[in-house]
Amino acid sequence: MKRWLIALGVLVVGRFRRRPLLDEPERLVPSAAPDRRAENIVLLLFGAATLCGVAVPVIYAWDAIPNQTQFLGLAFGLAFAFLSAACIVIAKRLIVTEDIEEEYGLTHPEDEEALEQLVDESGDRFTRKRLLILAGAGAGTALGAALVTPAASLGPVFDTSTLYKTPWRRGVRLVDEAGHAFRADDIEEETFYTAYPEHAEREQMGAPIVVVRLKPAELRLPSARSGWAPEGILAYSKICTHAGCAIALYRKPTFAPVEPRPALVCPCHYSTFDVANGGEVLFGPAGRPLPQLPLLVDPAGQLRAAGNFSGAVGPSWWGVRRHGPRS
Amino acid sequence: MTRALLLCLVAGLLAIPVASADPPQQGVTHVHVAPGTPAVDWGEQLFGANCVTCHGPNGRGITSEVHGAGNEEGLGPSLRGVGAGAADFYLRTGYMPLDDPHKQPHRSHVLFSKGELAALVAYVASLGPGPRIPRPHPERGSLSEGQALFTEHCAGCHQIDAKGGYVTNAVAPTLDQASPVEIAEAVRTGPYLMPRFSGRQISDAQLDSIIRYVIYAKHPDDRGGWALGHVGPVPEGLVTWFIGIVLLIATCAVIGKRIES
């Protein structure tokens, strides 16, 4: 650790702390010959680290390349590896080392002077200090830029209206994976179905829903939502309100008196939503209920949306409660 | 005196293997009937002796707690219309009889004989029309289609390796010991908290594929060589970490070595 501090001190402080050559005190560190080859290696390693650091935002921005994530990881890994290799070469080949028996004390002025002298003398071997500092700073800046790059994925900052948009509005039919319209009679109890809005982009957050059927007597929906579940058929967003995973688990009791109540469960962190009670959170890290989609059965017996969701779809963010969803 | 003691000891030692070879079968009452008795009648007697405490007379179910003889809790669903499929599943897996109706049933040693199982299934089937015991043909299924369907319908709880997992308040059991018929029965009846999948959601042909995949998943082809329980990134990450930490320590040792000067 001491040696690393010294290396850092040499690179940062050493340059500006040249001591007057008059009445030179006795050397603490034995002098050593400069090592241009090691310096070249260090420059090369810093350069390689800089390149890898710069590569990260480039790979990040360039969606067309395959295996983007793997390349990002590789660039990060190599940048750190080159940087640490450079530090190792500096520490082993370029810093003049000296065994120190007593501990450094920074309280006494003489000790401080001795430490400064130590740092200065340890850096004696460098011939191109400014170039090395520049190379090191370049590598550090590139790596810093690489580290903040993923922050660009944190989502829309100023215009969050897209987060409230869903393809559901009154009259949109519910279709299955193959695009066939769901009839109310298709929906059986004790199981669950995934449905999508007809003629809409399925990849968007607000598209997929889970459909289940309970006995109408089992429903405990808030009074404002009476009529949202014709024949006991309920629809909820398939996207968990915690982290946005797809809700793939439905638990239903075989024998209600001793078994847990029917609920949708997210497989990622086990957020559990009560289907009878408007998607209230029963368990888990989700902070708000699963948005419910009001349904209606048209004269042909097909299931259609009767409006938009009860709340914003998808994982929560700071402004999630500000508006309702829009079509 | 010593000889008598020794004899007692030997007799005792001899008795141990005899006792362990034929353990007293607890929890189940066997009913002996005259040969030629119809299976349904035998089943009814077995039901009366073993199941009626919870499932009620004539399988009507007991929905509020009653305390029977020996303060045994009685609480259980009606069996009318559950069909032979459900009865066969719960009995052949040892899910039933269940010692505590508040517990999740789990796979256990089957205490009934094969004939008794068939008789009980016949009796439950006679209570009302319900699904029959399915006859899957996994050999007709497609392994790749089965994997896709398993991923879509089953892996959420049972994990893609069919080793089981969790859902809140329950355990999704491992499918290690599940036979093709049991898998088909579970898919169609939805035991405990598991959803039920009808023929409209998963066709019989698709079910054959799913079963084929589950059977394959018991002994998968591990091209990587080191399966690590097939549970994915957690053990893999742990192993990587153990290898990585050795490399890191080695690197530290190399960096930390002093130069001789």
pLDDT for B154 equals 92
> How far apart are the C-alpha atoms of B157 and A184, rounded to whole Å?
27
What pLDDT score does B43 carry? 92
Delimit the domains of chain A by residue range: 2-154, 161-305
The dihedral sign for the CA sequence A264, A270, A271, A274 = positive
Measure the CA–CA gap between A308 and A184, rounded to whole angstroms: 19
Tell which of B55, B75, B168 to mutate to test the A interface (max A CBs under 10 Å). B168
Q: Is residue B154 part of a domain?
A: yes
Does B248 contact A at CB distance below 8 Å? no
Q: Residue B149 domain-assigned?
A: yes
Structural domain contains residue B109: yes
In sequence order, what are the residues at sequence separation of 6 or more whose Cβ sits closer than 8 angstroms to the Cβ of residue B259? A92, A97
Contacts of B77 in chain A (CB under 8 A): 254-255
For residues B126 and B42, is the Cβ–Cβ distance under 8 A? Answer: no
Residue B113 lies in a domain: yes
Please tell me the predicted confidence (pLDDT) of residue B20: 45
pLDDT for the residue numbered B251: 84
**Number of folded domains in chain B?**
2
CA distance linking residue A20 with residue B54, whole number of Å: 97
Give the largest CA-CA distance in chain B: 100
Read off the CATH number of the domain in which B165 is found. Answer: 1.10.760.10
Q: Which of B198, B255, B258 sits opposite A97 (nearest CB)?
A: B258
CATH no., domain A161-305: 2.102.10.10
Sort out which chain A residues have CB atoms less than 8 A from B157's CB and list them.
Answer: 249, 267
Q: Say if residue B166 is in the same domain as residue B117.
A: no
The verdict on B85 and B161 lying in the same domain is: no
Alpha-carbon torsion (A32, A46, A136, A40), positive or negative: positive
Nearest residue, CB atoms, A92 vs list B170, B198, B259: B259
How much is the ipTM here?
0.78
Are the Cβ atoms of A253 and B193 closer than 8 angstroms? yes
Write out residues in chain A with pLDDT < 50, as ranges.
none
The answer to whether residue B240 neighbours chain A at the CB level (below 8 Å) is: no
> What's at A244, amino acid-wise?
G
Phi, psi of B102 (to 5 degrees): -85, -5
Please report whether residue B204 resides in a domain.
Answer: yes
Query: Quick one: pLDDT at residue B18?
Result: 45
Q: List alpha helices for A123-227, DSSP H.
A: 129-148
Listed residues B104, B126, B148: the one ending a domain:
B126
CB contact (8 A) between residue A263 and residue B156: no
Is B66 in CB contact (< 8 Å) with chain A?
Answer: no
Q: How far apart are CA B261 and CA B255, in angstroms?
A: 16
Mean pLDDT of chain B: 85
Q: Which of B64, B76, B167 sits opposite A255 (nearest CB)?
A: B76
Give the torsion through C-alpha atoms of A142, A146, A148, A150, to 10 deg: 160
Query: Does residue B245 sit within a domain?
Result: no
The predicted model scores a pTM of 0.73
Using a CB-CB distance cutoff of 8 angstroms, which residues of chain A are in contact with residue B101?
258
Q: How far is CA B161 from CA B39, B79, B115, B174, B228, in A?
A: 39, 33, 34, 9, 12
Low-confidence ranges of chain B (pLDDT < 50): 14-25, 261
Q: Let me know if residue B198 belongs to a domain.
A: yes
Instruction: Give the range of the structural domain holding residue B205, as residue numbers without chain letter.
Output: 138-218
Closest CA to B188 of B197, B200, B201, B176: B197
Buried-exposed string B98-123: b where 16+ CB fall within 10 A, e elsewhere: beebeebbeeeebbbeeebbbbbbbb
* Rounded Cα–Cα distance for residues A7 and A118 (Å): 11
Nearest-angstrom CA–CA distance, A52 and A80: 9
Measure in Å the smallest separation between the Cα of A121 and chain B Cα atoms.
15
| CA distance, residue B227 to nearest chain A CA (Å) | 22
Position A16 scores a pLDDT of: 60
Say if the Cβ atoms of B196 and A190 lie within 8 Å: yes
- Cβ distance of A97 and B261 shorter than 8 Å: yes
Cβ–Cβ gap B167/A282 under 8 Å:
no
Q: How far apart are the first and last CA of chain B?
A: 86
Of A316, A268, A270, A260, give the one whose Cα is nearest residue A291.
A316
Of chain B residues 80-119, which have a CB less than 8 A from chain A? 101-102
Task: Let me know whether B95 and B179 are in one domain.
Answer: no
CA A102, CA A211: separation in Å to the nearest integer?
74
B32 and B103, same structural domain? yes
Would you state the pLDDT for residue B2? 56
Is residue B253 assigned to a domain? no
Select from B126, B160, B185 the last residue of a domain: B126
Chain B residue closest to A88 (CA)? B255
